[in-house]
Structure formats: structure tokens, C-alpha cells
Amino acid sequence: MTDDPRLRLGLVLNATRPETAAVAERLDAAATARGYSTTRTGLGLDAAVDVVVGIGGDGTLLEAAQVAHAADIPVVGVNLGTVGYLTEFEPEELDALLDVLARRPRPVRERMTVRAETRDGRVWHGINDVVVEKVLSQRVVRIAVTINEEYFTTYRADGIIVASPLGSTAYSLSVGGPVLAPELEALVMSPVAPHSLLSRSLVLAPDTVIEFANASERAVRVNLDGREACVLDEGEVLIVRKGDRPVRFVSLGTHPFPQGVRKQFGLDHA
């Protein structure tokens, strides 16, 4: 195991939290003292970096993970949020964080992603989920679902979510979906406010291919990780499957999944 003297860090910050700048400055100073370089970045990563560091809560780490996944480099989080389900290091642990980042090999845990594409070749990748949902708040939509080339059903609903295991604690959970351990590989399909007898989630094998056809006269919107990807007109199809490659989190494994769930949902105070 050797240390890397030329480590380049890309920082993704939560600008809405006043303490973020102070933590970033401390990380800058500690990194510079070791001969490392830091740069602020966003979704359009335009600098050569080795690791993306998200400073904030889970939302910031999700954004950092999107940046890292697009560049095919690891991501790690410094927790300034109230939950910190995805973030492993606290602000007082910056030196320990830099020690871990400099290691060769770096301790990395891979997590499954999701992929969405249209028939005309447009492709998007998500860390948490793909959501096909209504555009008009007063109207439900009809979405025909095909699983592995076999027609499944047509939902009348506000929308449908397909979540990765990592995303099972996000939007999917709020509509009654199951909580999956993040090291699993599966797709969780959950209808949103369905007008149907089938209101439960389906947990599908990771090699499943799901097609969503807009069977409504009105358009439906497609979001990945809360960001709009496209709009499907009547008859248009979205194909969802496991992502082409995982997102890689730098992790020492010091926060096991059950402890993360207990902290996220405040079970110590139940």
C-alpha cells in the first residue's frame, strides 16, 4: 500500500449551508499542506481530478456522485446534514479523510446505478431512481408496462418509480417501497398513487428490462435523480435497466447498513 503525492480533489459544495465554505477552506488547507490540489466543480466536470468530495448532506453527496459517475472516478462525502446516510466522514475528520483518499489501493464500495433510454437513442444515468410521472397536477396518466418483452399491466397513476437499492431510501420509500441493502443488485418498481388493485412495489432482478409506454393523450415527464431528462408524448417509450457501470464510493465500511437505517429514521428515539 502506497500514498499518492499528487492527489487531485474535486469539491462539490452545498452553497445553502453557511458552514460549508469553512469546511471547504479547512480541507483546502489540509490538502495543500500535503501537496494535493483541490478545485470546485459541478455537474459539468471540466478539471482533471482523482476523487470527488461532496461537502453537505445526502443531497450534496448525490450531486457529487453524479459528477463522479459521469467521470468514472470515486466519490466520498463529508457530512454537514442532519442524516448523512450516504456520507461517511464528519467535518472534524478531514485529516483521516485525506489519509484514506491517498491510499493505494483506495477502499471503494461499488453501488448499482440505473439507466434510461428512448427509442431514438437518448440515454441518461441515475444514482437513485428513474421517475415517469404526470406533468399536469390534476390528471393521472396511463403508463403501459412491459417487463422483459412481456406485457405486464397498464397503470393509471401519478407516476412510476424505478429505484436502485441505494435509491430505495429516497422517493421510492415515500410511496411505500421496501428498503434494500445498498450492496444488493435489484430494480424496485413502485407506482405513485395508483388507481389500481396493484399498489405494491415489485423487486426485480438486476438484468430486468422494463419498458414504459405513454398510453395517455397527455405528456409524461421523465426525471432521473430529481432532474428532468425528457418528456414522452403519447405512444413514446422509455426503456429502463441496470446502469452500465456502478458508482464507486470511498468507504471504510465503518457505518454498516443497519446502523445507517437506524440513524436515518431516528429509531434510537422511537
The residues annotated as belonging to the active site are 58
Which cell numbers hold the place of 201? 412495489
If one counts every other C-beta atom within 10 angstroms of the C-beta of residue 245, the result is: 13
CB 176 within 8 A of CB 157: no
CB 123 within 8 A of CB 19: no
Integer Cα distance of 176 and 131 in angstroms:
15
Q: Torsion angle, CA of 188/141/240/187, rounded to 10 degrees?
A: 0
Contacts (Cβ under 8 Å, ≥6 apart) of 112? 164, 165, 166, 184, 185, 186, 206, 242, 243, 246
